[in-house]
Amino acid sequence: MTTWHAVANLADLKVRKRKAVTVEGIPVALFFINDTVYALNDTCIHEARSLSKGAILFGKVICPGHQWKFDPATGEPEDQDGCQPTYPVQVTDDGEVQVSVEVPVVTS
């Protein structure tokens, strides 16, 4: 059974667009992009900068370190190798954003 962790309020995330949280010791960056909430590991796979301190541009998460552009749904960087771990997200009827970090979503 999936363990969900309450990490944010949807209304707050809609305003802030991003939020850094820690779930079971894992740094997670939440983003609200194009009416969807995404959760990625907050530590960039390139040189460990914090993605939650980056920008959102044209639907991508831009790392503040060296401007790699990550697809928030898949964690895949544009024109780079590797993949930023992403995590399942659900939003309850009363607007509670929940994340599970048990199994990162893997794309190939």
- Residues near ligand FES (CB under 6 A): 44, 46-47, 49, 63, 65-66, 68
- What tokens were used for 106? 């893997």
Q: Given the complex with ligand FES, which of 5 and 46 has the nearer CB atom?
A: 46
- What tokens were used for 33? 């992009």
CA torsion sign for 32, 33, 38, 39 is negative
Distance CA(74)–CA(16), nearest Å, equals 22
CB of residue 69 to ligand FES, shortest distance in Å: 9
CB of residue 52 to ligand FES, shortest distance in Å: 12
CB of residue 43 to ligand FES, shortest distance in Å: 9
Q: Given the complex with ligand FES, which of 86 and 98 has the nearer CB atom?
A: 86
List strands edge to edge, sheet with 36-41.
Answer: 18-23, 26-33, 36-41, 86-87
Looking at beta carbons, which residue is closest to ligand FES?
65
